[in-house]
Structure formats: C-alpha cells, structure tokens
C-alpha cells in the first residue's frame, strides 16, 4: 500500500504543483539532490515549484548519464556524475539526500563537512551510533539537519496531536501503529530488501515508530517487551515483517505501544491485496479511542475518527490546511512534502518553523529501531561500505 500511496502522490503533485508554479526570489535557497531515486519528484522537485524561495539547482548520480537524464526531465540546471562533485559546488546551499539507508551517514557527514544544510530521508541513519555522530557534527558546524518525516508537518497530524494533548479525553492508555505493503508490490530487487544497504521493513516503515513517539511526546521507550521478525526468504538478516511491543515511561506511568510493519503482507484468501491497509494509528485514551487513517499521506485522503467512551458517540474529522500549527498558512492542495519544504526553508533562513523534528528526536528514533532489532535477534543495521554500489533506480 505504501508504494501505491507514493505513486498517487506523484499524480497529485503533478496536477496541483504544476498549476501553482511561482517566480523564484533572487536569494532563493539553492538545493542539490544526491541520488536519482524515484521519491525525488514527490519529495522535493515538485514541491519546490510552488515555493518562491527554493531552486533545485543540481542533481548527482554515480552515473553521469543517469543524472543528465533526470536533470533534463525535471528542468534541473546541473547534473553531476559523482556525489562529491555536487557537494563541492559552492553555489549550492543545501542538499536533499535520498540515498539507500546505509549510505545516509556517510554522505550526510560529507555534506555537513562541505558546509551544506541537509534534508535527510528517513530513516536518519543505519543505527543510533551514526545518528549521534551526525548530530554532533551538525551542531558544531551550526548547520540545519533534519530527518524527513514529512507526515509530521501536515495539519492533520497536528490536529490529532492537539486532541491527544488537550486532556479532554484523559491520559493515553495504549497505541497501535501499522504499515504494510501487499505481497509482490515491492520487487525483490528493491533496495529495501538489501542487508548491505541497511534494508528491512522496520527501516523502511519506520513511520510506525515515529507516529507512536510523536503522539506520545516520547523519546526512547523504557523497554522493548517483545519483538518478532519474519525474515526474508532471500536473506534471513532482513526483516520482511516486524511486530513489537514497546513500553514507554510517561512521567512514571507506563504506556504500552504495539507496532507492525510488513513489506510482504499476504493477500486475503491469497487473492485480494489489502490495499485498504494504509499506514494508520489507533490511540486509546481513558475516555476515547482516536483512529488516524492514512497518517503517512494525509494530503491524499485521511480521516480522524474519535469514539467517545462516555457518550458512545463517534465523530469524524479531516484537516487539510490551517490547524493548531499552521494557522492561516498553507493550502489545502499542499502535500506533506510541501509543508515539510516550507518548514525546512524557514529553519535555514533563521525563522522559527511551525513544526520541527529535533535532532534529539532523530537519535531517539534510531535508538528505538536498534533496540527492536536487537530484541528480535536480527541485530542493528550497519552502514553500507563505500565500496558497495547500490542498484540504479
């Protein structure tokens, strides 16, 4: 389902961003892209069309022809046949890194050392050790570094957060977050299945952890009560699916959170793909149960269902703009990535963005991932050796 959501976002942005192109400011932030990954179009290229303060000025690949093809396709001025060449370009202010998971640490480090701000695709790094090293460097260099959990920048996420934090329904009792992709929807050649590239369902579908932590206002869980991985048939080191129970200490009160990720979710009766299983989270409080359907791509479609235990009544909400964080800023057609880009530019320009993902949060995210992998018996993911050449998208 995740792949289908991504493809639908491409279409949504093509329709809306294409019709809202704006002139660029003379001092627009110049962003370079490391990799020619499929996600680039949705995550940064099309959102930049409607932002006058952003220019996508370069793209790099380990294959010059491939970089040139992408530059021509998207109207990007410069193409480079190596990541180092792009990082050495003095006219580039920031980079968006969409390389495979295991390469995030190495190339973010190089980008920061080159004086570039970094918008880094999730997961932040291969493991928490790398995360701490990057955070230290970013702070020393006084550069912006942020993990691209785009969904957190959307008004729908903020509306749910406001409901949970309001106290109206009491304290949180438990949560359950799920993200799946139907069997066969992620080709076995995809980087998500490659151990050398820090692949695995928990790494790719780390949204189940970020949503849990976000709505709980939590850092690293007190403990991982249990974690069970279903190993890939091609490589037992890679988790095809992961189930885990996390226990968070919220000011002396323990809250249990379950997560489930699956890159090869079995079809119903072996025939019907579970396309209805969009990334969703259920949050039970003392007096209500809140269900946020499609929290990962709420700009496409979502609903927030609130069941009040005291009255037995259920009401449904939808939020595409405004809300407790953005107020009158933003448009209903903005994708999660467009909201994210707005915040990133604010931060780089020294303005306080309506929402931000802190570096401490990204460290806690990777510490949680590491702990689940260790509990499952698979062991934490490792950085990709620089000698490994990832498959070309």
Please indicate, yes or no, if residue 351 is contained in any of the structural domains: no
Instruction: Tell me: do 200 and 53 sit in the same domain.
Output: no
Please indicate, yes or no, if residue 54 is contained in any of the structural domains: yes
Instruction: Tell me: do 127 and 59 sit in the same domain.
Output: yes
Instruction: Tell me: do 185 and 114 sit in the same domain.
Output: no
Which pLDDT tens digits describe the chain residue by residue (393 residues)?
555 555 565 566 556 666 789 999 999 999 999 999 999 999 999 999 999 999 999 999 999 999 999 999 999 999 999 999 999 999 999 999 999 999 999 999 999 999 999 999 999 999 999 999 999 999 999 999 999 999 999 999 999 999 999 999 999 999 999 999 999 999 999 999 999 999 999 999 999 999 999 999 999 999 999 999 999 999 999 999 999 999 999 999 999 999 999 999 998 877 777 887 899 999 999 999 999 999 999 999 999 999 999 999 999 999 999 999 998 899 999 999 999 999 999 999 999 999 999 999 999 999 999 999 999 999 999 999 876 666 554
Please indicate, yes or no, if residue 342 is contained in any of the structural domains: no
Q: How many domains does the chain have?
A: 2
Q: Tell me how far apart the alpha carbons of residues 343 and 353 are, in angstroms, rounded to a whole number.
A: 5
Catalytic residue among 122, 161, 258, 375: 122
pLDDT at 4: 56
**Which domain range does residue 120 map to?**
2-149
Count of CB atoms within 10 A of residue 64's CB? 14
Active site residue 24: no
Please indicate, yes or no, if residue 384 is contained in any of the structural domains: no
Q: 80: helix, coil or strand?
A: strand
pLDDT at 354: 97
Instruction: Tell me: do 262 and 273 sit in the same domain.
Output: yes
Domain boundary among 95, 130, 149: 149
Instruction: Tell me: do 117 and 181 sit in the same domain.
Output: no
Instruction: Tell me: do 200 and 218 sit in the same domain.
Output: yes
pLDDT at 271: 73
**What is the DSSP-derived secondary structure letter of residue 42?**
I
273-98-128 Cα angle (round to 5) = 95
Instruction: Tell me: do 134 and 168 sit in the same domain.
Output: no
Please indicate, yes or no, if residue 355 is contained in any of the structural domains: no
Inter-residue contact 31 to 61 (CB < 8 Å): no
Inter-residue contact 96 to 43 (CB < 8 Å): yes
pLDDT at 392: 52
State the pairing for strand pair 314-317/303-308: antiparallel
Tell me the two tokens of residue 327.
Answer: 């107020």
Q: 180: helix, coil or strand?
A: strand
pLDDT at 269: 75
Instruction: Tell me: do 177 and 278 sit in the same domain.
Output: yes
Give the rounded distance of the alpha carbon of 259 from its chain centre. Answer: 16
Total-model pTM = 0.94
Instruction: Tell me: do 12 and 122 sit in the same domain.
Output: yes
Check which CATH number belongs to the domain holding 312 and give it.
3.30.360.10
Please indicate, yes or no, if residue 382 is contained in any of the structural domains: no
Give the rounded distance of the alpha carbon of 164 from its chain centre. Answer: 22
Domain boundary among 92, 117, 149: 149
Q: 354: helix, coil or strand?
A: coil
Instruction: Tell me: do 30 and 71 sit in the same domain.
Output: yes
Q: Tell me how far apart the alpha carbons of residues 278 and 182 are, in angstroms, rounded to a whole number.
A: 11
Instruction: Tell me: do 143 and 202 sit in the same domain.
Output: no
Bridge partners, residue 204, by sequence: none
pLDDT at 14: 56
Half-sphere exposure of 186 (CA within 13 A, CB side): 26
Instruction: Tell me: do 187 and 315 sit in the same domain.
Output: yes
Domain boundary among 106, 125, 149: 149
Please indicate, yes or no, if residue 82 is contained in any of the structural domains: yes
Bridge partners, residue 280, by sequence: 178, 293
Please indicate, yes or no, if residue 28 is contained in any of the structural domains: yes
């Amino acid at each position: 389902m995740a792949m289908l959501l991504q493809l639908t976002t491409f279409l949504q942005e093509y329709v809306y961003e294409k019709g809202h192109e704006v002139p660029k400011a003379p001092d627009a932030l110049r962003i370079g892209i490391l990799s020619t990954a499929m996600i680039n179009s949705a995550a940064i290229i099309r959102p930049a069309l409607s932002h006058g303060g952003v220019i996508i000025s370069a793209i790099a690949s380990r294959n010059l022809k491939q970089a040139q093809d992408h530059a021509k396709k998207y109207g990007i001025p410069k193409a480079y046949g190596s990541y180092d060449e792009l990082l050495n370009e003095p006219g580039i202010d920031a980079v968006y890194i969409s390389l495979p998971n295991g390469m995030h640490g190495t190339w973010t480090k190089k980008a920061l050392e080159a004086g570039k701000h970094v918008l880094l695709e999730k997961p932040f790094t291969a493991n928490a050790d790398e995360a701490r090293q990057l955070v230290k460097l970013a702070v020393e260099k006084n550069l912006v570094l942020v993990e691209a959990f785009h969904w957190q920048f959307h008004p729908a996420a903020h509306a749910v957060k406001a409901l949970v934090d309001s106290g109206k329904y009491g304290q949180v009792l438990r949560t359950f977050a799920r993200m799946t992709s139907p069997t066969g929807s992620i080709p076995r050649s995809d980087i998500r299945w490659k151990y050398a590239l820090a692949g695995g369902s928990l790494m790719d579908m780390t949204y189940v952890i970020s949503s849990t932590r976000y709505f709980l206002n939590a850092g690293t869980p007190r403990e991982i009560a249990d974690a069970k991985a279903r190993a890939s048939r091609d490589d037992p080191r890679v988790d095809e699916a992961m189930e885990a129970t996390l226990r968070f200490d919220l000011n002396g009160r323990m809250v249990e959170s379950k997560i489930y990720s699956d890159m090869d979710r079995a079809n119903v009766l072996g025939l019907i793909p579970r396309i209805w299983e969009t990334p969703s989270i259920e949050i039970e409080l003392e007096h209500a149960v809140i269900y946020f359907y499609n929290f990962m791509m709420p700009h496409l479609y979502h609903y927030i269902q609130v069941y009040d235990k005291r009255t037995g009544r259920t009401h449904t909400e939808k939020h595409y703009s405004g809300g407790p964080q953005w107020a009158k800023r933003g448009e209903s057609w903005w994708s999660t990535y467009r909201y994210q880009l707005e915040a990133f530019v604010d931060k780089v320009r020294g303005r306080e963005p309506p929402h931000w993902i802190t570096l401490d949060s990204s460290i806690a995210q990777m510490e949680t991932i590491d702990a689940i992998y260790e509990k499952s018996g698979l062991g934490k993911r490792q950085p990709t050796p620089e000698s490994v050449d990832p498959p070309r998208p």
